[in-house]
Every structure is written in C-alpha cells, then in structure tokens.
Amino acid sequence: MSLATASFRPAQGSVARPMLLGGGAGLFLALVWGLLDASGGGSGQFPVLLGALFGALAAWVAVAARHARGLRVVADEEGLRVLGPDERLAARWDGLRLGFGFAAGGRGNVQRYAIVADPRGRSFAFADLAGQGPCQPVAGADGGPVEVVDLPEAPLLLGLLVQRCPAWQVLPPELATPPAAVIPAPGAEAGAATAPAAGMRLAAPRAAGAGVGLLALAVKLGGKLLGALGKVGATAVKAAKGTHLGWAAASAATYSVLFSWKFAVAIMLQLFVHEYGHVHAMRRTGMKVRGMYFIPLLGAAAVTEDQFTSRRQQAYVALNGPVWGSLLALLPLSLWLITGEPAFAAVAAWYALINLFNLLPILPLDGGRVMQAFAFSYSSGLGLAVSVLGLFGAVLLGSQLGFSLIWILAALGAMELLSEARAWAGARALRLLPEPSRFGPTHWVYLRAVLGPPPGHPSERQFLGALARSERAGRAEPLTSRQMLLWGLAYAGLALALVLLVWAMRHVPGADVAAGMLE
C-alpha cells in the first residue's frame, strides 16, 4: 500500500457529558483522598481542582480512543477501504461503483447521500448531515440495509471518488470540463533572462576619492536606517490602531488592581512590544494581521487572517516576539547599570522572565510554535506527537508550580492542536487528487450540496475556510536541515541569554523574585 494515505472518520458526538461526569468523578476522588490523608495524620490538603481537571481529561481521552478504534475510511493511491471492527469494504479505485440517493431523516427531512460498493457487493453510504441527526438505513448493492455515516469531510471523499474512479458525470457539464491550458506567447519562456535593448548603455564604474566614498556610504546607510525606523514606527502605529482598546484597558486595570499602576505600565509596554514583534514579522512576510488582543492575566496575542506558507515563516514569526521583547529588556538593564536603581533591574529581570516563559515548548506559546515548525518539517505525525507531549508537559508543570494559568494555556493549545490536526487530515486527502487544479471552491460547494447542505447554507463559509486551511497546510514548505540548525541555535541562544540575564541580577532586590522562579 502507498505511504500517501488519507483517513476519514465519522463525526464525533458531544464530549461535554462524558467530561462533566469525568470531572465530577475526579473531584469526588480528590475529596476522598484528602479525607483519608487527614484521618492518617496528614495535612488533608489535596488540589480538588486538579482532580476534576484530570478526571475530565481522562474522560476526553477515553472518548477519543473509542472514536479512534471505530469506523474509518482509508484512501490511498491504489484504492479505498472501510475499516472498523472488521473490514467492511475494500477495492481498487477502478473497481468501485458510485451511486446516490435520498434517505428519510430522523427529523422528518430528506437527506441526500452517496453510496459506494466494491466488486463483492459490500456497500458504504455516507453524507454530510450537518447536525441534522441520523437518518434511516438505505439498501446496499446486495440488498441489505446500510447505515448512512455522517462524515464531516464527505465532500473530500466524494471528490476523490470523482477523480479516481473516475466519475466525472457526477458534475454538471460546466464543472466537469477541464480548464483551458494557457499557451505562452511565441518566444516567451518562463524565467528567461531579457537581454539589454539595442542602444542601451550600461553605466561603467566611476573612480572616486576614499573620503567622498565613505561620506556617500554613510549618507546612504543613514538614509536607509532612518527609512527603516520610519517603517517600523508606521507599522507600530498601525498595530496600535489594530489593538482592541477595551481589552487593553481591562488588562491594564487588572494589573493595576493586583499590583500597581507602575507595574501595569511596565507590563503593558512589554506585552505591546512583544506582540508587535509578531505583527512586524507577519507583515514583513506578507501575512494579513487582524489585530492585537490583550487578555487579562494571560498576556496578549497577535492574530493573523492567513496561515503560514512555510515552517520557516512559522518559526520566524514565533521567535520575533521574544526577540523584540528581549531587546526591550535591555533598556531597563542599561538604566540599572547607569543609575544603580534596583527598580530598573527588577523590570529587566521580569521582562526577561516573561519572554523566557514564552519560549517554553507548549502550544500556544511561541516556543511551542517553534517546536511545531521543527516537528512538522519531519512529518505531520511527529508534529502532532510533539505538540501533545508539550500539552501534557504544561499540565505537569502547572501542577508542580501550582500555576493554574498554565492549564488554561494548555486548554487553548489543545483547541489549536485539534484545528491543526483537522487541517492536516484535509491536506492529505487533497494530495491524493490526481488533478487538484480541476477543483475550485465552486466544485467543492457543489459536491457538498450533493451530500447535504445546499449552497448558501450558514455552514458553507466555515466549510470553505477549513478547506482553505487544508490547502495551505498541504503547501507549507518544511524546514531544511540547515534551517533547522540555524533556527534551533537561535532558539537555544535566546533562551540561554535570557536565563543568564535573570541569573546575573539575582542579588538585586525585586529581581531576586524573578530569579527565584527559575529555581
């Protein structure tokens, strides 16, 4: 079997009830453990919140494992298989028969579906139910009842069947017609160099004195530096305009109440500069920036409307935040060296600690995104495994330090990881299309309408957005070995510099508290 495979799984039901029951069981066990510990002469203190969290997490893992062992459709370049407790269907692409029909829905509606059969008469029916509930079984090729399976990626599976069986007759004539080939103009060759036009004179190098040359060089460099600073300033103004002032004000008020207004000013400045580093990197690499969001007690986030086109871009955008934030830490450090004022040393140490925390290899922190770029450059499976290990590490770290905010970050990282996994699942399916250029958004909307929601359905925009993310994920270029080495050295070097900065000021009042966090 080819290594290029794509898997399609039925829609997973709601996990809210199992997680609620698991959280309640974990809470109960935590209370019982605390009572037993107190009766034995112990402190009787047990983190009940942690028990509830682990109970809910265990329930979610159990539901996910059960879903993973259930029915799945596996496609590769050779054919299609439907697996579960036993093999339900297996055939080469050219041996499959494709048909369509209508089934009675559970809510009195009529549901469109597709059904595929192998040479042995075994059938598999699927549709995109879009939350309409299950529908009645339909008749298979052998006359027996066949369950209509709800596949969220049903249009992708149907697209594979159309192109690989092939079954172009499914599409209307205007969509089944191949796109016209673009014929280049005579003599025009892609990438061909253009010779100088007749009569064009190339400027010859002119001799000049050393002093004049240095002066010209200084003027040129100075102009470029001022231009660069002007661009940075203009981008910073745009980033400030894109900042949601309500959330920023709420964050500043929270820090002022919990600490002091001086601390609030210092921390908001660090958060802004750190996130501006991400914004600057996004815009420099051609990404659209939606805005900058401040989240009380959780920091801030720069949100883009695009997806990374390469793992190098992902690492570059991720590291620019800690780099800019670390450069800002040099300002209070310099003031401390000049004035000897301990307050400046404390600010520098906390700035360094904030950026060091962001370098932890945990999604959605910057370090987690860098590790994700490295791991996904090898394979999507390794990338997902490294991300999951980072999430478990976050939970353990939060438990060890008693820092519950890390659990919230881990929950956000888990949601981001699920989105990444879905994008890669779709990307693997798109890679199996023999002629991907023949399918555009109109084709996918039509194929989706054949199996479920009609064009213009409220979920259509979400479907097309997920499809676009899958296409971009499939086109994302991995890091080369040399790029991995360079970005790895940059990541490790920045982390080491921040550790040394905090350690060097461990004897200064105020900075010693930040240094104590590293012990």
- DSSP states along 384-416: HHHHHHHHHHHHHHHHHHT-THHHHHHHHHHHH
Please, which contacts does 169-176 make with residues 24 or more away whose CB atoms are closer than 8 Å?
A: 170/98, 170/100, 170/447, 170/450, 171/443, 171/446, 172/446, 175/442, 175/443, 175/446
Distance from the Cα of residue 391 to its chain's centroid: 14
pLDDT of amino acid 383: 66
- pLDDT score of 264 more than 80: yes
User: Among residues 310, 300, 416, which one has the least CA distance to residue 368?
Assistant: 416
Q: How far is Cα 157 from Cα 124, in angstroms, rounded to an integer?
A: 12
pLDDT of amino acid 185: 42
Residue percentage of the chain with pLDDT more than 90: 26
pLDDT of amino acid 243: 54
Contact between residue 387 and residue 419 where contact means Cβ atoms under 8 Å apart: no
Residue 303 makes CB contacts below 8 A (sequence gap 6+) with 289, 290, 291, 292, 293
- pLDDT score of 359 more than 80: yes
- pLDDT score of 218 more than 90: no
477 secondary structure, DSSP code: B
Mean pLDDT, the chain, as a whole number? Answer: 78
pLDDT of amino acid 17: 84
pLDDT of amino acid 404: 60
pLDDT of amino acid 334: 93
- pLDDT score of 279 more than 90: yes
* pLDDT tens sequence across 384-413: 676 677 667 666 766 666 666 666 666 767
* Residue where the block lists tokens 């100088």: 196
pLDDT of amino acid 274: 93
Q: How far is Cα 330 from Cα 236, in angstroms, rounded to an integer?
A: 19
Distance from the Cα of residue 434 to its chain's centroid: 27
Residue percentage of the chain with pLDDT more than 70: 76
Q: How far is Cα 75 from Cα 214, in angstroms, rounded to an integer?
A: 65
pLDDT of amino acid 474: 76
pLDDT of amino acid 47: 63
Q: How far is Cα 324 from Cα 363, in angstroms, rounded to an integer?
A: 20
Strands 123-127 and 148-150: parallel
Output helix, strand, coil percentages for the chain, rounded to the nearest 5.
60, 10, 30
- pLDDT score of 184 more than 50: no
* pLDDT tens sequence across 452-478: 888 888 888 888 888 888 887 777 788
The mean pLDDT of 350-374, rounded to a whole number, is: 87
Q: Which helix (H) or strand (E) holds 73?
A: strand 72-76
User: Among residues 307, 327, 326, which one has the least CA distance to residue 317?
Assistant: 307
The mean pLDDT of 341-351, rounded to a whole number, is: 91
The mean pLDDT of 330-343, rounded to a whole number, is: 92
Q: Encoding tokens for residue 229? A: 């600073």
Q: How far is Cα 11 from Cα 132, in angstroms, rounded to an integer?
A: 12
Contact between residue 75 and residue 426 where contact means Cβ atoms under 8 Å apart: no
* pLDDT tens sequence across 81-117: 998 877 789 999 999 999 999 988 767 778 899 999 9
1, burial (CB in 10 Å: exposed 0-12, middle 13-18, buried 19+): exposed
The mean pLDDT of 359-369, rounded to a whole number, is: 84
Neighbours of 495 (CB within 10 A): 17
Residue burial 214-245, b: 16+ Cβ < 10 Å; e: rest: eeeeeeeeeeeeeeeeeeeeebeeebeeebee
pLDDT of amino acid 208: 36
pLDDT band at 365 (very low <50, low <70, confident <90, very high): confident
* pLDDT tens sequence across 23-53: 888 888 878 777 776 676 655 555 666 677 7
> What's the distance, Cα to Cα, between the start and end of the chain in Å?
52
Neighbours of 147 (CB within 10 A): 16
Residue 145 makes CB contacts below 8 A (sequence gap 6+) with 137, 138, 139
